[in-house]
Structure 1
Amino acid sequence: MIIKASGLTKRFGNQTALDKISFEIGQGQIFGFLGPSGSGKTTTINILTGQLLATEGSAEIFGKASQELTSEDLSKIGIVSDTSGFYEKMTLYKNMLVYAKFYGVSRERVDELLRSVGIYESKNKPAKNLSTGMKQRMLLARALINQPQVLFLDEPTSGLDPSTSRIIHDLLLELKAKGTTIFLTTHDMHEATLLCDHLALLHQGKLVETGSPTGLIKKYYTDKKVVVTYQDGSTKEIIYNALRTLETPAIETIHSCEPTLEDIFITLTGGKLNV
């Protein structure tokens, strides 16, 4: 396993941010860590990457305890979070070159990365003048500059428009195909369904459910109902097994009533994810 958490617990004074959470992530997987703001997602990343010590339990990357990661280990990791900073008065390109020099990366590699996230044409703009979407893509390109084996993304598409989010999604799927392991925190259920091989639902520091998106939807699809729309515009909700008795010529569409990940989270916790 590339990433492993066992009984991970973190307390800040009397507040428990994480409560005995455990999971494993294999190479080339996109692992979705889902929960509302304040549920412990960022704290988990900070512990996994050795920036924060757990109160109890253990965290490992590359088979090594997170607090024992060396500079060589860290050079195999990329991170994009809401605390990722950049030099506002420098151009986008110069921001990238600072990191390129640090990792001994060529300008050609920088150009390739900027093109891959669709911001090469804006490379000479001061970073402070970039749109929110461009800043996010710059930070993602910067996190990829060292060709990391593990990529931590903390809400990478939060606040972005759909077209920009799609660019990032396509890039993440390309990285996955090349064997990159991606730890993705999000409260966007559609994003998680599209991208993730496996996911964990986090609520108030506790894992309330784990599994693949399709596996969880199948598990909680207990009513087995569909909505039938007829050619006259009327609709009818029926149980799935009753489909065989319907007269098909009058039917326009049939839609499954299976739950979304958001529905499942609300069922388990009574709360919403997008808060």
Structure 2
Amino acid sequence: MSMIDVSNLSYTYKKGAVNGVSFKIGKGEIFGFLGPSGAGKSTTQAVLAGLLSIQSGSISIDGNLRSGSPGKEFFNRIGMGFEIPNVYKKLSGLDNLKFHARLYDRETMDPMEVLEMVGLAEDADKKAGQYSKGMKQRLGFARSMINNPDIWFLDEPTMGLDPTTANSIKSIIRRRQAEGTTIFLTTHNMFVADELCDRVAFIVDGALVAVDSPKNLKLKHGKPVARVEYLDGGAMKEHEFSMEGKGKSELQQFIGTHDVKTIHSLEPSLEDIFIKLTGRGLE
């Protein structure tokens, strides 16, 4: 059963539009929404999260058709992690989470436990205004899951974080998914999307171009290539072979007639596929 069912959703405003997008997100799925700036990612997310009204089309959440503005029961079930963290700078990290926990009419996580998860326990009593940019990012991320959301909207959750911290955040996301949370992820980072998402949607100029798993998109639209490094006259050289058609037999013949040192399979990246399908980069 789908947790989120979007049908022919459109939203028009001065700076752009979302034009008749339709997709479904299963319970416990990590669904990536990928596109360049201004493509309609944030607008779609804002409508799904109830921050913007539905202008046209329909949205069902957990089998219930949403009409009008969602009520508190809906907001109790969702978490929102923004690209630019929205924290109260005059409150400590701990008090930020305690304050937000009191806004929900459902059982919430222990604030200190959440701070421990994101590596901020030692700075729990420090004012958020004294946090570094990365620490504020982690505090905003922690706040977004304080209510144990059933649906978790995340916008660039690893942006600006060092690799170790980013891996920790991704581990938390995977753990929440394993516990049944449905996650709607918007990002410019194709590597993060490829690593985390069960399926991704490519959106450009308000319209969906493709929806599928990263693996299927790469298999369907990419061209598998093998790169061979070989020794020729004392110099190391390389050559690429297509792994389709005659490419395989040509590779086998080459191996038999050259001093081959390494062979690497070159799978196209998700970004390569995005550019191929849309003609656009993610800047």
TM-score (norm 2): 0.89
CA contact (8 A) 1:105 1:145 kept: no
Deviations for 1:97-118, whole angstroms, at most 9, x for unmatched residues?
1122333789981111111111
Q: State the 1:248 CA deviation.
A: 9.7
Aligned pair count? 272
> Secondary structure of 2:21's partner?
strand
Structure 2 counterpart of 1:22? 22
| Closer, same or farther: CA 252–173 of 1 in aligned 2, 3 Å | farther
Structure 2 counterpart of 1:77? 78
Tell me, in whole angstroms, the C-alpha distance in 2 between the residues paired with 1:107 and 1:221. Answer: 44
After TM superposition, list the pairs within 5 Å mapping 1:6-45 onto structure 2.
6-13=7-14, 16-45=16-45
What's the Cα RMSD here? 2.2
Structure 2 counterpart of 1:118? 119
Verify: 1:243 aligned to 2:268, yes or no.
no
Q: Structure 2: state its 5+ residue gaps.
A: none
> Secondary structure of 2:280's partner?
coil
> Secondary structure of 2:103's partner?
helix
Letter aligned with residue 236 of structure 1 = H
Runs of 4+ in structure 1 over 4 Å off:
104-108
Q: State the 1:264 CA deviation.
A: 1.3
- Identical counterparts, % of pairs: 41
Deviations for 1:175-229, whole angstroms, at most 9, x for unmatched residues?
111111000000101001100000000111111111000000001123x321112
1:265 to 261, 270, 274: 274
Larger-Rg structure: 2
> Secondary structure of 1:233's partner?
strand
Tell me, in whole angstroms, the C-alpha distance in 2 between the residues paired with 1:19 and 1:104. Answer: 35
Which has the larger displacement, 253-262 or 146-155?
A: 253-262
Structure 1 counterpart of 2:221? 220
Tell me, in whole angstroms, the C-alpha distance in 1 between the residues paired with 2:58 and 2:8. Answer: 7
CA contact (8 A) 1:47 1:59 kept: no
Q: Structure 1: state its 5+ residue gaps.
A: none
> Secondary structure of 1:190's partner?
helix
After TM superposition, list the pairs within 5 Å mapping 1:1-275 onto structure 2.
1-13=2-14, 16-66=16-66, 67-82=68-83, 85-103=86-104, 109-222=110-223, 224-230=224-230, 233-240=236-243, 241=248, 242-245=250-253, 246-247=255-256, 250-273=259-282, 275=283
TM-score (norm 1): 0.91
Tell me, in whole angstroms, the C-alpha distance in 1 between the residues paired with 2:87 and 2:31. Answer: 27
Tell me, in whole angstroms, the C-alpha distance in 1 between the residues paired with 2:242 and 2:99. Answer: 60
